[in-house]
Amino acid sequence: MSGRAGARRVARVLVVEDNLLMRAMIVNFIGTLPDFRVVAEAGTGYEAIRLVHELDPDLVTLDLEMPDLGGLDTLGYIMSEVPRPVVIFSAQGGAGAEQAMRALEYGAVDFVPKPSGSDPNHLFGWRERLQRALEAAVQAQLSNLPLRLPERMSRRSASARLAAAPDRATVVVAIAASTGGPRALADLVARLPATLPAAVLIVQHMPPGFTRSFAERLDGLGPLDAHEAVADEPIVPGRVYVAPGGYHMVVRRGEAGPVLELTEEAPLWGVRPAADPLFASVASHFGPRSVGVVLTGMGRDGAEGLRAIKAVGGQTVVQDAETAVIFGMPRAAAPYADEILPLGRIADAIAARAEAIAQRVHH
């Protein structure tokens, strides 16, 4: 970050956490980062709201489990009355994952799972994720978060999607997303048509224990079935597969056709799942029957993979700067894009390109 005359722009942070030990860990770590400064600490939601008004911090870190006013209610107030980037701290998995997904829907930029122990490697990973989340938060364009989530389908219409088990997919759409991705993907998946002649493979940068809840929230937003991917499952059209946190998801050739493989190879770009391994495997298995899409996020994951998809004759789409919460990943992938589109037009572009490819395949 830089300001006038080359001076460093230091982001002012309000830390909201009722657990004194956890709060001290957060404050002490942020104190080691030259681009951030803790300006105040709060132990309750009511205190947080008062300090946001008094101090006008650049960003807020917010615990979801607090006495008096809960984290979600506090977040809802901040985003509706005094909006600014908020990074959530959530419990690991289970109910914590569900709450973290709701926080993203309320407008939080990112979330960081609380460390589950004192193992040095685990704490190092926690600090690394917190730093990335803070860096993403100060770059986030909050106005580009979709204003509301689409309505979920009725139980009856959702169950009708699973009536038949289709053949293996001949066309695959691979999508990469990071910061701002959960909201963007909800908007995109809701717009995909029931007749989409392709499987949709999603890598959303997210830690273990949270992707299942995310996939469940995607399921039912539109006519396509969405679920967390399982090792060795067949890839079929009209379904959405979300890479599980902690695993890279790639395509491999099974006896009856392409299947999904989950690997624990080293993180790429600091994340696992990463999009580049998925995109490269889609390019090698589906060639010109591939569609690659890069959405909002920091860094450059997905750029090399999109280049691979384009190199084999596949179709490529990137989200534009005007609608991306963070234009890092799309910017890096833009040189390999056939189209750079606003979020609201990407689902139609995917459908049109997948349909055109499917028609070529069948003729």
Q: How far is CA 49 from the centre of its chain?
A: 27
Strands (E) in 208-312, as ranges, are 225-228, 239-242, 248-254, 257-263, 290-294
d(CA 99, CA 158): 23
Cis peptide before 273 (omega within 30 of 0): yes
Structure tokens at 328: 């890092």
d(CA 279, CA 292): 7
Judged by DSSP in three states, 323 sits in: coil
Strands (E) in the chain, as ranges, are 11-16, 36-42, 59-63, 86-90, 110-113, 172-177, 199-204, 225-228, 239-242, 248-254, 257-263, 290-294, 315-319, 339-341
Structure tokens at 22: 């956890």
Going by their DSSP bridges, the two strands 339-341 and 225-228 should be labelled as unpaired
**Which residues, in sequence order, are CB contacts of 64 under 8 Å at separation 6+?**
70, 71, 72, 88, 89, 90, 91, 96, 99, 100, 103
Judged by DSSP in three states, 20 sits in: helix
State the residue for tokens 């400064």. Answer: 37
d(CA 71, CA 74): 5
Structure tokens at 301: 């994951």
Based on its alpha-carbon atoms, the radius of gyration of the chain, rounded to whole angstroms, reads: 20
Residues assigned a catalytic role: 178, 205, 301
Task: Count other C-beta atoms under 10 Å from residue 187's C-beta.
Answer: 23
Q: Which residues pair with 87 in a beta bridge?
A: 61, 110
**Half-sphere exposure (Cβ direction) of 8: Cα atoms closer than 13 Å:** 8
Lay out the sheet containing 36-42: strands in order across.
36-42, 11-16, 59-63, 86-90, 110-113
